[in-house]
Amino acid sequence: MRGVLTPERNTSVTPAAGPLHGLLVADFSRVLAGPFAAMMLADLGARVIKVERPGNGDDSRGYGPFLDGRSLYFARVNRGKESVALDLRVPADAAVARGLAARADVLVENYRPGVMDRLGLGPVVLLDRNPGLVYCSISGFGHTGPWAQRPAYDAVVQGMSGIMAITGRERAAGEAGGRAEVKPGIPVADLAAGLYAFGAITSALLGRAATGRGTHLDIAMYDASVSLLEGAALSWLATGTDPGPIGNAHFTIAPFDTFRCRDRDITICAANDELFAALAVALGRPGLVADARFVGNAARHEARDELKAELEAVLRTADAEHWLDRLDLAGIPSGPISSVAEALGSEQTRVRRMVVDAGGLPVPGNPVKADGYDDPTHRPAAPALDEHGAAVRAEFAQGLDRAAAAHG
């Protein structure tokens, strides 16, 4: 990847002209969920000032992988931000933080519930001083409920939300241990919370435009993860039976799974009768359509193991490329099981600008494409710790006094 992107560090943090240009975001969050939400705001033009603890800053500055001594983990979710190091327990630094919050349009934080209140930066205090503020709190389990004070990381929430229990497969006969619970290969809970926070923030900004008032948003990683259970949740709600893991199959649709060809697996999703009929013809097995076991989706799902065996008996006779060409011609949703290298190196990824340069580091791009706004392949770098500290302190140290006077 280093040969694809020009390794030049751009330390400027002037926001790209985007739909959020002119907004000021105070980012008190760290690691992933909060920084990810704030990065999306920065990518769309907002000015984001990241408040970090002095010394080591955000924990993720120490997370790999590293390239040229810099953390790609940190760079990926903090590109285009400014950094100021503040000890929120020190009066002078706390005054800067309050000054920033008094003038911000959005504040993002992901401390455990109650921490920001104890620091004098809770939503009640700040919304009183800055009624238009959109204050977004992201936490493991939210600000209410019996689990509100539980510490959480992504894997903890995945386990408690049910996601881990439905990922993977049941162990085959003869294997020890019953279920083989598996964590998905990406931090689903963190990223889902970040995306919900991003959507909630932009929605609240629309509400503010209509009413003039901000709000406090309470986003929980747990809630976000539970909301993603989709078919598994609906299955339990309908039947009261725990669905358990079903591998790569779908909880209610068949055929909707991975299937073995002669050389590798592919994915086939024939989610209605018309697509199933086209699939049967493309595989040279039109008789499957009239087979009583497979008439209608409900029957196909009930007999999905038998159906998979019938389909794989044909698919195993040729390589994946042969079948994918035929399925594409037939208009059947299908595709290879790509490696990460194949996905990031694809022409589709290049054209969609889903790998960009952030100050000389290759990182995933922004999936939001908006007509009339640039989607640059080169983004501003993630900041060094306290890189903009002097300027931010000078700008916001007196902000609270001015805002308090205006409010009075």
How does DSSP assign 67-84, residue by residue?
ETTEEHHHHHHHTT-EEE
Contact 52, 81 (CB under 8 A): no
Residue type at position 118: R
Count other Cβ atoms within 10 Å, centred on residue 302. Answer: 14
> Could you give the C-alpha distances from 61 to 37, 69, 167, in angstroms and in order?
17, 10, 30
Identified catalytic residue from 143, 250, 322, 378: 250
Beta strands (DSSP E) in 179-307 are 215-220, 256-260, 265-269
The CA distances from residue 291 to 12, 252, 276, 296, 395, in Å, are: 65, 19, 12, 10, 73
* Interacting residues of 79 by C-beta distance below 8 A, sequence separation 6+: 39, 42, 43, 358, 359, 363, 379, 380, 381, 382
Per the CB < 8 A criterion, the answer to whether 142 and 136 are in contact is: no
For residues 120 and 94, the answer to whether their CB atoms sit within 8 Å is yes
Within 10 angstroms of residue 107's Cβ, the number of other Cβ atoms is: 31
- Is residue 65 packed enough to be buried (19+ CB in 10 Å), middle (13-18) or exposed (0-12)? exposed
Please indicate whether residue 301 is annotated as part of the active site. Answer: no
Catalytic residues: 250
